[in-house]
Amino acid sequence: MITVVLPEHLRTLAKVIGDVKLDVHGVVTQRSILDALEVQYPMLRGTIRDHVTKERRAFVRFFACQEDFSHGSPDAPLPDAVASGAEPFLVVGAIAGGNRA
């Protein structure tokens, strides 16, 4: 099982408490994690990546194993520790982002 940590706003939207556990089939990548996440929680579609292009929203970041994967290929395999569930995949709202509010 993959562990995904969502930011507070998205946990509230998805009505989840704590971390999310996902079954991800095949190679564990950003794309396969987000595909599985959006199947399990369809209300998250469009909040992390664009509906059509599937590009990461500008002020969302992906961290794992103390590394920033935000600018990596969405199809690149993530570390074994993420694939095994030993380390979580973190979806983070950028500290500088959003708007003036």
Partner 1 sequence: MSQVRVLVGTRKGAFILESDGKRDRWDVSGPHFAGWEMYHIKGSPADPNRIYASQSSGWFGQLIQRSNDGGKTWEPVDNKFVYEGVPGTHKWYDGTPHPWEFKRVWHLEPSLTDPDTVYAGVEDAALFQTTDGGKSWKELPGMRGHGTGSGWQPGAGGLGLHTIILDPKDPKRIFIAISAAGAFRTDDGGTTWKAINQGLRSEYIPDPNAEVGHCVHHMAMHPSRPGVLFMQKHWDVLRSDNAGDLWKEVNGNLPDDAGKRGFGFVIDIHAHEPETIYVVPIKSDSQHFPHDGKLRVYRSKTGGNNWEPLTKGLPQSNCYVNVLRDAMAVDSLDSCGVYFGTTGGQVYASADAGENWNAIVRDLPAVLSVEVQTLA
Binding region for partner 1 (CB under 8 A): 7, 9-10, 13, 43, 45-48, 51-52, 57, 59-60, 93-94, 97-99, 101
Minimum distance between the CB of residue 91 and partner 1, rounded to whole angstroms?
10
Q: Residue 41 has what DSSP assignment? A: -
User: Where would I find the H helices in the chain?
Assistant: 8-14, 30-40, 80-83
Nearer to partner 1, 26 or 58 (CB): 58
Shortest spacing between CB 47 and partner 1, in angstroms: 4
Residues 6+ apart with CB under 8 A from 78: 28, 29, 30, 33, 64, 69, 89
CB of 43 to partner 1, least distance (A): 4
